Amino acid sequence: MGNALHLENVTMQFGGVVSVNNLTLDVPEHKIIALIGPNGAGKTTAFNCITGVYQPTNGLIEFMGKPMVRNHPSRSMAKTYKGENADKFANEAPLSPTPDEITGLGIARTFQNIRLWKSMTVFDNVLIAKHQHAKQNVFSAVFRGNLAEEKRMREETMELLKEQGLDAYKDELAVSLPYGLQRRLEIARALATKPTLLLLDEPAAGMNPQETAELADFVRLIREKYNLTVFLIEHHMDLVMNISDYIYVIDFGSEIARGIPSEIQSNKRVIDAYLGTTDEEPE
Amino acid sequence: MKQKKKTFQIFIGITILLLFVILLENLSTFIPGLPQVLSPTSPLFTVLKKAAVYSLVAVSMNLLNGFTGLFSLGQAGFMLLGAYTYAILTVPTAMKDQVYYLFGGCAFDFSLVDMFKGMFGESGFGGAISMILGSFIALILAGCVAGLFSYLIGIPVLRLKSDYLAIATLGFAEIIRAIFQWQKFGPVTNGANMIKGFPTFSDFNITGPSGNVILRLSTFVPFLVSAVCILLIVLLINSSYGRAFKSIRDDEVAAEAMGISLFKHKMLSFVISSFFAGIGGALFAMYVANAQAKAFTSVMTYEILLIVVIGGIGSVSGSVLATFLYVACSEWWLRFLDTEVYLGSFKVPLLRNGFRMVVFSVVIMVIVLFFSQGIMGNHEINFGALLKKFQPKPERKS
In eight-state DSSP terms, residue B103 is G
Spatial distance between the Cα atoms of A38 and B231, rounded to a whole number of angstroms: 54
Residue A236: band (very low, low, confident or very high) from pLDDT cuts 50, 70, 90: confident
User: Residue A256: helix, strand or coil by DSSP?
Assistant: strand
Of all residues in chain A, the one with the smallest CA distance to B238 is A142
What is the phi-psi region of residue A54: left when phi exceeds 0, alpha when psi lies from -120 to 50, beta otherwise?
Answer: beta
Q: Is the dihedral of CA B221, B77, B234, B59 positive or negative?
A: negative
The CA-to-CA distance between both ends of chain B, in Å, stands at: 35
Cα Rg of chain A (Å, integer):
20
Q: Is the dihedral of CA B303, B309, B312, B316 positive or negative?
A: positive
Spatial distance between the Cα atoms of A126 and A120, rounded to a whole number of angstroms: 10
Q: Residues 111-140, chain A: which have Cβ within 8 Å of B? A: 111, 115-120, 124, 127-129, 131-134, 136, 138
The CA-atom distances, in angstroms, between A234 and each of A112, A182, A207 are: 10, 17, 12
Asked if residue A100 and residue A142 are part of one domain, the reply reads no
Alpha carbon A38 to its chain centroid, in Å, reads 17
The CA-atom distances, in angstroms, between B347 and each of B228, B264, B340, B351 are: 48, 61, 7, 9
CB-CB under 8 Å, A129 with B258:
yes
Within-domain flag for B397: no
Which runs of E-coded beta strand occur in chain B? 206-207, 213-215, 342-343, 346-347
> How close, in Å, is residue A50 to chain B by CA atoms?
11
Chain segment A132-155, per-residue pLDDT in tens? 888 888 888 888 888 888 899 999
A-B CB pairs within 8 A amount to 106
Within-domain flag for B393: no
Within-domain flag for B176: yes
Asked if residue A199 and residue A92 are part of one domain, the reply reads yes
The CA-atom distances, in angstroms, between B253 and each of A30, A54, A168, B61, B266 are: 27, 12, 27, 23, 14
Asked if residue A38 and residue A8 are part of one domain, the reply reads yes
In eight-state DSSP terms, residue B348 is P
* Burial (0-12, 13-18, 19+ Cβ within 10 Å), B107: middle
CB-CB under 8 Å, B254 with A117:
yes
> How close, in Å, is residue B236 to chain A by CA atoms?
5
DSSP string, A79-135: HH--SS-TTTTTTS--B---HHHHHHHTEEE--SS----TTSBHHHHHHHTTGGG--
Helix, strand, coil percent content, chain B, rounded in steps of 5: 70, 5, 25
For B190, phi and psi rounded to 5 degrees? 65, 30
Spatial distance between the Cα atoms of B217 and B203, rounded to a whole number of angstroms: 9
Q: Residues 327-386, chain B: which have Cβ within 8 Å of A? A: 378
Within-domain flag for B384: yes
The residues with which A201 forms a beta bridge, in sequence order, are: A233
Q: Nearest 5°: CA angle at A222, between A220 and A228?
A: 95
Asked if residue A121 and residue A85 are part of one domain, the reply reads no
pLDDT per residue as tens, chain B (398 positions): 466 777 788 888 888 989 988 888 888 777 777 777 777 788 888 999 999 999 999 999 999 999 999 999 999 999 999 999 999 898 888 888 888 888 877 777 788 888 888 887 777 778 888 888 888 999 999 999 999 999 999 999 998 888 899 999 999 999 999 999 988 888 888 888 888 888 888 888 887 777 777 888 888 999 999 999 999 999 999 999 999 999 999 999 999 999 999 999 999 999 999 999 999 999 999 999 988 988 998 889 998 998 998 888 889 999 999 999 999 988 888 878 877 778 878 877 777 777 888 888 888 788 878 887 888 877 787 766 666 666 665 566 54
CB-CB under 8 Å, A116 with B251:
yes
Within-domain flag for B234: yes
Indicate the residue among A167, A194, A221 that finishes a domain. Answer: A194
The residue among B6, B229, B235, B240 with the most chain A CBs within 10 A of its CB, best to mutate, is B240
What count of residues does chain A have? 283
Within-domain flag for B157: yes
> How close, in Å, is residue A131 to chain B by CA atoms?
6
CB contacts, 8 Å: B63 with chain A? none
In eight-state DSSP terms, residue B111 is -
CB-CB under 8 Å, B257 with A111:
yes
Of all residues in chain A, the one with the smallest CA distance to B249 is A117
Asked if residue A95 and residue A3 are part of one domain, the reply reads yes
Asked if residue A99 and residue A2 are part of one domain, the reply reads yes
Asked if residue A73 and residue A3 are part of one domain, the reply reads yes
CB-CB under 8 Å, A117 with B247:
yes
Asked if residue A245 and residue A189 are part of one domain, the reply reads no
Spatial distance between the Cα atoms of B92 and B203, rounded to a whole number of angstroms: 13
> How close, in Å, is residue A101 to chain B by CA atoms?
7
Q: What range defines the domain where residue A154 resides?
A: 115-194
Chain segment A88-113, per-residue pLDDT in tens? 888 888 888 999 999 999 999 999 88
Number of domains in chain A: 2
Within-domain flag for B395: no
What pLDDT, on the 0 to 100 scale, is given for residue A1?
66
Spatial distance between the Cα atoms of B300 and B304, rounded to a whole number of angstroms: 6
Asked if residue A119 and residue A65 are part of one domain, the reply reads no
Given a contact cutoff of 8 angstroms between Cβ atoms, the answer to whether B57 and B277 are in contact is yes
CB-CB under 8 Å, A141 with B240:
yes
Q: Which of B51, B70, B288, B299 is nearest to B173 (CA)?
A: B299
The residues with which B142 forms a beta bridge, in sequence order, are: none
CB contacts, 8 Å: B247 with chain A? 117, 120, 128
CB-CB under 8 Å, A131 with B253:
no
For residue A277, pLDDT beyond 70: no
Element (H, E) at A71: strand A66-71
Asked if residue A102 and residue A149 are part of one domain, the reply reads no
CB contacts, 8 Å: A144 with chain B? 235, 239
CB contacts, 8 Å: B2 with chain A? none
A84 vs B55, more confident: B55
The CA-atom distances, in angstroms, between A11 and each of A27, A49, A270, B248 are: 18, 9, 21, 30
Q: Specify the CATH number for the domain of residue A88.
A: 3.40.50.300
Flag whether residue B258 sits within 8 Å of chain A, measured between CB atoms: yes
Alpha carbon B340 to its chain centroid, in Å, reads 32
Given a contact cutoff of 8 angstroms between Cβ atoms, the answer to whether B241 and A128 are in contact is no
Indicate the residue among A194, A210, A237 that finishes a domain. Answer: A194
Number of domains in chain B: 1
Asked if residue A242 and residue A163 are part of one domain, the reply reads no
* Burial (0-12, 13-18, 19+ Cβ within 10 Å), B377: middle
Indicate the residue among A194, A209, A233 that finishes a domain. Answer: A194
> How close, in Å, is residue B214 to chain A by CA atoms?
36
Report which residue type is found at A201. D
What pLDDT, on the 0 to 100 scale, is given for residue A283?
45
Q: What is the value of ipTM here, to two decimals?
A: 0.89
What pLDDT, on the 0 to 100 scale, is given for residue B153?
93
Spatial distance between the Cα atoms of B383 and A221, rounded to a whole number of angstroms: 45
Q: What range defines the domain where residue B245 resides?
A: 2-388
Least confident of A48-52, A215-219, B35-39: B35-39
Within-domain flag for B164: yes
Asked if residue A204 and residue A95 are part of one domain, the reply reads yes
